[in-house]
Amino acid sequence: MPETTLAKTRAAQPEPHCSIARSLEVLGEKWTLLIVRDAGRGRNRFSEFKDNLHVSSDILADRLSTLVDAGIMERRSYRDDGARERFSYHLTESGQDLHVVLGAINAWGDKHRPSDFGPASIYRRVGSRTPVTVAFVDASGRSVAPEEVEIVRGPGSEPTAP
């Protein structure tokens, strides 16, 4: 592999062992997660994302490509009457699984970055309409306090990792 390519690969993935680092290669940027949020709320067309996020077309196109390449969204073509072919963007299973990540960020933001307006979004159970939040849970599905959760090295940890 030419040295420049190797350098680029390293720069793009500085910690191949860590699941958090690998995830942030695609997620660690504001627009990416806001696009996923919007798609989870029924927005699917380029113009819908653009109008809601007030992001430039170049950045939006770039982030949508990143999401498609990462398998988080899929592109589908559609054609309105008399118009040229366009594309819409839909969450894959991988993208739908970010629901919990966004729920965790939302709960943290409501607590630590509250606005004067109150919560904009309420997460609740369909049917009973009772509030839900995000927490650590054990194998039986009972919540576990964060201070009771420790992180230990798994089989894929680097020799020098904590």
Site for a copy of itself in 40-59 (CB under 8 A): 40-43, 53-54
Q: Which amino acid is at 4?
A: T
Exposed / middle / buried, residue 67 (Cβ in 10 Å: 0-12, 13-18, 19+): buried
> Binding of a copy of itself at residue 121 (CB under 8 A)?
yes
The only residue of 7, 21, 59, 61 in contact with a copy of itself, by rule CB under 8 A: 21
68 in contact with a copy of itself (CB under 8 A): no
| Residue 74 interacting with a copy of itself (CB under 8 A) | no
Instruction: Single out the segment in contact with a copy of itself by CB under 8 A; choices: 1-9, 56-64, 75-83, 104-112.
Output: 104-112
Q: Is 84 in the site for a copy of itself (CB under 8 A)?
A: no
- How far, in whole angstroms, is CA 29 from its chain's centroid? 9
Task: Tell me which amino acid residue 150 is.
Answer: E
Q: Quote the least distance from Cβ 45 to a copy of itself, whole Å.
A: 14
Alpha-carbon distances of 99 from 96, 102, 130, 134, rounded to whole Å:
6, 5, 18, 10
Dump the DSSP string for 59-92: HHHHHHHHHHHTTSEEEEEE--TTS--EEEEEE-
Q: Quick one: which segment of 1-9, 33-41, 58-66, 78-86 binds a copy of itself (CB under 8 A)?
A: 33-41
Asked whether position 138 contacts a copy of itself by CB under 8 A, the answer is: yes
